[in-house]
């Protein structure tokens, strides 16, 4: 049967990766890779080995230009109209605790993907960022304390041009009551709690804050933000989502 296939390729392939950092050069990590191309009905199958060959011949440095070059190479090797690739990996950022200034690295799950058709690259960035949120309602009705929870902010963007992973992580952290830290001393914990209780927010507040910040980034064409609160006293999670197309 002759039928066009939208995407055919390889997945669940591990590969060492170098990710450019905004402030400190480059970071080495390991990614799970998925690659694919379109396959017209006139072709019986694709050449799976050529995906791996293209990846092995690539520099291994993940940035906008490097991704575009890799996808162009895959498209040429496979004689395809469209080529697509995805890298999923942990990205580490060093943070100073708010009081003592103790340094430690936090890991963030990230995904970078791209689709190349003609001469145009559609570039996608995804990050997952944990933050702390303090419930404004419980803070208002309780004489002592309020309930707080860890809240996950998931951002997916489609961009034309470079947006740093650090920029997305930071705007997510700023949207909640407090960032989450890898290392806190007792005086740091005190500072975090005091700051968080001074900035209570619902999931609705967090998703709107992130959405407003993304709308100011000129490179962003489209975004989807999902915020999920892992509730500490309710037998359910709360969530909110905003999806917007900014430019075509």
Instruction: Render pLDDT for 45-56 as a digit per residue (tens, 0 to 9).
Output: 788 899 999 999
Count of all residues that appear for the chain in the document: 248
When pLDDT is cut at 50, 70 and 90, the band that residue 44 belongs to is confident
3-state SS of the chain is CCCCEEEEEEEEEEEEEEEEECCCEEEEEEEEEEEEEEECCCCCCCCHHHHHHHHHHCCCEECHHHHHHHHHHHHHHCCCCEEEEEEEEEEEEEEECCCCCCEEEEEEEEEEEEEEECCEEEEEEEEEEEEEEECHHHHHHCCCCCCEEEEEEEEEEEECCCCCHHHHHHHHHHHCCEECCCCCCHHHHHHHHHHHHCCCCCHHHHHHHHHHHHCCCCCEEEEEEEEEEECCCCCCCEEEEEEEECCC
**Average pLDDT of the residues of the chain:** 92
Query: Rounded CA gap, 33 and 85, in Å?
Result: 7
Lowest-pLDDT range of 73-77, 78-82, 244-248: 244-248
Lowest-pLDDT range of 62-76, 86-100, 137-151, 227-241: 137-151
Tokens of 129: 């960022």
Report the DSSP beta bridge partners of residue 203: none
Give the per-residue pLDDT at 120: 82
When pLDDT is cut at 50, 70 and 90, the band that residue 248 belongs to is low
- Domain count within the chain: 1
The Cβ of residue 11 has, within 10 Å, a number of other Cβ atoms equal to 11
Interval 124-135 mean pLDDT: 95
When pLDDT is cut at 50, 70 and 90, the band that residue 1 belongs to is low
When pLDDT is cut at 50, 70 and 90, the band that residue 228 belongs to is very high
When pLDDT is cut at 50, 70 and 90, the band that residue 65 belongs to is confident
Tokens of 193: 């709690």
Question: Which range of residues forms the domain containing residue 74?
Answer: 5-245
pLDDT tens profile 131-157: 999 988 888 888 777 788 999 999 999
Give the per-residue pLDDT at 188: 95
Report the percent of the chain where pLDDT is more than 90: 72
Interval 147-171 mean pLDDT: 92
Which residues have C-beta within 8 Å of that of residue 136, sequence separation ≥ 6? Answer: 200, 201, 202, 205
pLDDT tens profile 174-203: 999 999 999 999 999 999 999 988 999 999
Give the per-residue pLDDT at 222: 95
Interval 13-18 mean pLDDT: 96
CA distances from 77 to 6, 71, 169 (A): 17, 10, 35
pLDDT tens profile 198-223: 999 999 999 999 999 999 999 999 99
CATH of the domain at 100: 3.10.270.10
Instruction: Assess whether pLDDT exceeds 80 at residue 63.
Output: yes
Give the per-residue pLDDT at 125: 95
Give the per-residue pLDDT at 39: 85
Give the per-residue pLDDT at 239: 96
Instruction: Assess whether pLDDT exceeds 70 at residue 107.
Output: yes
């Amino acid at each position: 049967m002759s039928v066009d296939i939208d995407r055919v390729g390889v997945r669940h392939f591990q590969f060492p990766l170098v990710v450019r950092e905004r402030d400190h050069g480059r970071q080495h990590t390991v990614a799970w890779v998925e690659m694919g191309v379109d396959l017209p009905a006139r072709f019986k199958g694709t050449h799976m080995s050529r995906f791996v060959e293209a990846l092995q011949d690539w520099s291994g440095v993940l940035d906008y230009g490097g991704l575009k070059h890799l996808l162009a190479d895959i498209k040429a090797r496979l004689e395809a109209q469209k080529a697509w690739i995805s890298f999923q990996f942990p990205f580490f950022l060093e943070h100073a605790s708010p009081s003592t200034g103790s340094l430690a690295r936090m890991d963030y799950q990230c995904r970078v993907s791209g689709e190349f058709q003609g001469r145009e690259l559609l570039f996608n960035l995804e990050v997952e960022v944990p933050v702390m949120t303090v419930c404004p309602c419980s803070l208002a009705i309780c004489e002592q304390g309020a309930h707080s929870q860890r809240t996950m902010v998931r951002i997916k963007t489609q961009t034309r041009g470079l947006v740093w992973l650090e920029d997305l992580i930071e705007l997510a952290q700023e949207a909640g009551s407090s960032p989450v830290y890898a290392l806190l001393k007792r005086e740091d914990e005190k500072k975090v709690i005091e700051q968080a209780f001074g900035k209570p927010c619902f999931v609705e507040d967090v998703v709107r804050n992130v959405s407003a910040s993304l709308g100011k980034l000129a490179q962003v064409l489209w975004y989807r933000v999902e915020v999920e609160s892992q509730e500490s006293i309710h037998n359910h999670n709360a969530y909110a989502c905003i999806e917007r197309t900014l430019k075509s």
